[in-house]
């Protein structure tokens, strides 16, 4: 720990001479395209079904596999960022992502396309923690909100704009162009970061705990896999492909947590949860991510299944919310620096309650404009909650816990995204079946649309409960003070 402290102090002394903007731009370009890929392919699945001659249930692995690899890699990243320099980590992640993108573009068959997707996910899984950890080291707490807001622009704007962008590309070109168009940007990011990215994080080379890596991989992987299976096809909670991965994942995760608490040099330090604002942030982020990911799936179901919109039209409805969400994240970051978290998170959770309740009132008479406005307001509410809460929670941690704090939050965001999708899609399907079950004759197209609407109402009612819980939690949030070690660092600036 002595060596780590000396390394951090000498590192802090050099940070004043580093130009931060080129580093921030390097991180944002790379992260934008790696995160964009999480939702870019969803809308192309029907086209891939025909082109690759594989069923939809098999194709789902392109999305499930991606989430699985990202969910598994992020906990390990807490260890990797202490073994490798910022440049090595970032360039390695981008080269892996670019290689995966190329493999996907030229893939002659489904197995090759899946390998490409998993390589892409490997790059994305390493990217997020490196990006957030670098921001925490580069910027003192009083300037961190604006920088984290820029990162928020990427994390929330990229997946929101993915379906619209892929819908536009697929109107004029085949699915391979979803990868060909991303590849030049990935290569540009590698060249740009090679020229401008500096090493800012200390390399302490802690002991490699192989058992912890195996336990975290089985634990987080099993949970994401189980919930992803529940969100697909006809699977129920009683299906072996759902409960077995959840059970194995849950037991592995429990052993992993106990091992980390007892370890002198933990792979993922659970002491981050001793800081109350970090713990509160974790719960708020889980709710925000569950809401965002599930809404991004529920609304296309509603628009295409009940309102009979085309895929492209449904993508366009989600575009203004995605754009505004990205634009607002840097603004909320600056407001956070000036006014603290309460001024943003409390109104954000109240707005989330109002919008979720309005979603439960949607009917077949609801206009497209109303849907756009509701989605825009929902994305504003999430932007007001996510980045301010995340920055506030991480600000409370001492510098040596930054890699662990960012890894915990990024892992839980992936896991909660998978849980949210599975939970809300499951509630929607159950509500839909219950509505059809009450009919005495074969359902008409109008009744099928109404059944889908009933299922979506049920999902948003559960979402409303989560929103109320988030609002109650937000009342306890308060601005965190930088730990003693950070004050010294802040004074360098």
Question: Given this model, what pLDDT does residue 8 score?
Answer: 44
* Cα 225 versus chain centre, distance: 16
What pLDDT, on the 0 to 100 scale, is given for residue 488?
38
* pLDDT for position 103: 96
**The model scores a pTM over 0.85:** no
CA pair distance 70, 81, nearest whole angstrom = 16
**Mean pLDDT, range 197-226, rounded to an integer:** 80
Quick check: 483 and 5 in contact, CB under 8 A?
no
Q: What is the pLDDT of residue 231?
A: 59
Q: Minimum mean pLDDT among 220-224, 311-315, 434-438, 450-454: which range?
A: 311-315
| Band of pLDDT at residue 125, cut at 50, 70 and 90 | confident
DSSP 304: I
User: pLDDT digit string (tens) for 336-363?
Assistant: 888 888 999 999 999 999 999 999 999 8
Highest mean pLDDT: which range of 17-21, 132-136, 143-147, 170-174 = 170-174
- The predicted model gives 143-167 an average pLDDT of 74
Percent of the chain with pLDDT over 90: 16
As a whole number of Å, the end-to-end CA separation of the chain is: 25
Provide the pLDDT for residue 472.
Answer: 94
pLDDT greater than 50 at residue 203: yes
In the chain, % of residues over pLDDT 70: 88
The pLDDT score that the predictor gives to residue 212 is 85
Mean pLDDT highest for which of 205-209, 294-298, 331-335? 331-335
pLDDT tens-digit series, residues 5-34: 434 444 444 555 667 778 778 788 888 887
Rg of the chain taking only CA atoms, in angstroms: 22
Give mean pLDDT, residues 275-282: 90
Find all residues with CB under 8 Å of 158, minimum gap 6, and list them.
31, 32, 33, 35, 36, 38, 39
Residues near 358 by beta carbon (within 8 Å), at least 6 away in sequence: 374
Q: What is the mean pLDDT of the chain?
A: 80
Model confidence band, residue 250 (pLDDT cutoffs 50, 70, 90): very high
For the residues 208-214, what does the mean pLDDT come to?
83
Q: Taking residues 27-44, what's their average pLDDT? A: 77
Of the two residues 371 and 421, the one the predictor is more confident about is 371
Which helix (DSSP H) or strand (DSSP E) does residue 212 occupy? helix 210-230
Instruction: Give the DSSP per-residue string, 254-279.
Output: HHHHHHHHH-SS-SS-GGGGGSHHHH
Task: Give the mean pLDDT of 94-117.
Answer: 92
Tokens read off for 120: 């892409």
Task: Indicate whether 59 pLDDT > 80.
Answer: no
Sign of the torsion angle spanned by Cα atoms 388, 128, 296, 241: negative
Residue range 231-241: mean pLDDT, rounded: 72
Residue 436 has pLDDT above 50, yes or no: yes
pLDDT band at 165 (very low <50, low <70, confident <90, very high): confident
Q: Do 126 and 92 meet the contact criterion of CB atoms below 8 Å apart?
A: yes
Query: Per the structure block, which two tokens stand in for 102?
Result: 């190329």
Lowest-confidence pick of 172-181, 292-301, 453-462? 292-301
What are 465-474's pLDDT values in tens digits?
999 999 999 9
44-47 long-range contacts (CB < 8 A, ≥24 apart) are 44/166, 44/170, 44/175, 44/178, 47/170, 47/174, 47/175
pLDDT band at 492 (very low <50, low <70, confident <90, very high): very low
Whether 493 shows a pLDDT value over 50: the answer reads no
What six digits make up the tokens of 227?
Answer: 């919930």
Q: Which residue has the tokens 């754009």?
A: 323
**pLDDT at residue 317 tops 50:** yes
Per-residue pLDDT at 4: 41
């Amino acid at each position: 720990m002595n060596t780590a402290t000396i390394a951090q102090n000498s590192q802090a002394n050099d940070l004043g001479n580093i130009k931060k903007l080129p580093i921030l731009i390097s991180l944002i370009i790379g992260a934008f395209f790696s995160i964009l890929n999480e939702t870019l392919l969803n809308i192309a699945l029907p086209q891939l079904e025909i082109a690759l001659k594989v069923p939809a249930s098999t194709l789902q692995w392109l999305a499930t596999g991606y989430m699985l690899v990202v969910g598994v890699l992020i906990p390990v990243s807490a260890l990797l960022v202490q073994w490798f320099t910022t440049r090595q980590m970032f360039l390695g992640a981008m080269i892996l992502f670019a290689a995966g993108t190329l493999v996907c573009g030229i893939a002659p068959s489904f197995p090759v396309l899946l390998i490409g997707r998993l390589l892409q996910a490997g790059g994305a899984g390493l990217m997020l923690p490196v990006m957030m950890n670098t921001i925490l080291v580069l910027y003192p707490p009083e300037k961190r909100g604006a920088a984290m807001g820029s990162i928020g622009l990427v994390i929330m704007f990229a997946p929101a704009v993915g379906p619209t962008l892929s819908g536009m590309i697929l109107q004029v070109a085949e699915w391979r162009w979803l990868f060909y168009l991303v590849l030049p940007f990935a290569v540009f990011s590698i060249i740009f970061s090679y020229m401008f990215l500096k090493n800012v994080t200390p390399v302490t080379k802690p002991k490699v705990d192989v058992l912890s890596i195996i336990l975290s991989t089985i634990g987080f992987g099993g949970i994401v896999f189980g919930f992803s299976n529940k969100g697909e096809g006809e699977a129920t909670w009683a299906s072996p492909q759902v409960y077995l991965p959840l059970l194995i994942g849950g037991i592995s995760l429990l052993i992993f947590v106990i091992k980390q608490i007892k370890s002198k040099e933990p792979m993922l330090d659970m002491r981050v949860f001793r800081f109350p604002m970090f713990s509160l942030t974790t719960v708020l982020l889980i709710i925000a991510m569950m809401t965002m990911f599930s809404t991004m799936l529920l609304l296309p179901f509603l628009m295409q299944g009940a309102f009979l919109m085309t895929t492209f039209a449904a993508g366009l409805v989600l575009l203004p919310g995605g754009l505004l969400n990205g634009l607002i994240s840097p603004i909320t970051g600056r407001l956070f620096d000036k006014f603290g978290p309460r001024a943003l998170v409390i109104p954000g959770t109240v707005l989330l309650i109002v919008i979720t309740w309005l979603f439960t009132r949607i009917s077949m008479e609801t206009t497209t404009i109303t849907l756009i406005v509701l989605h825009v307001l929902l994305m504003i509410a999430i932007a007001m909650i996510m980045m301010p809460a995340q920055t506030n929670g991480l600000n409370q941690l001492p510098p040596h816990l930054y890699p662990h704090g960012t890894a915990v939050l990024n892992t839980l965001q992936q896991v909660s995204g998978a849980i949210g999708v599975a939970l809300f899609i499951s509630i929607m399907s159950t509500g839909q079946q219950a509505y059809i079950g009450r009919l005495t004759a074969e359902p008409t197209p109008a009744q099928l649309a109404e059944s889908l609407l009933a299922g979506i109402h049920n999902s948003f009612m559960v979402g409303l409960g989560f929103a109320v819980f988030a609002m109650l939690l937000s009342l306890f949030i308060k601005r965190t003070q930088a730990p003693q070690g950070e004050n010294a660092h802040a004074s360098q600036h």
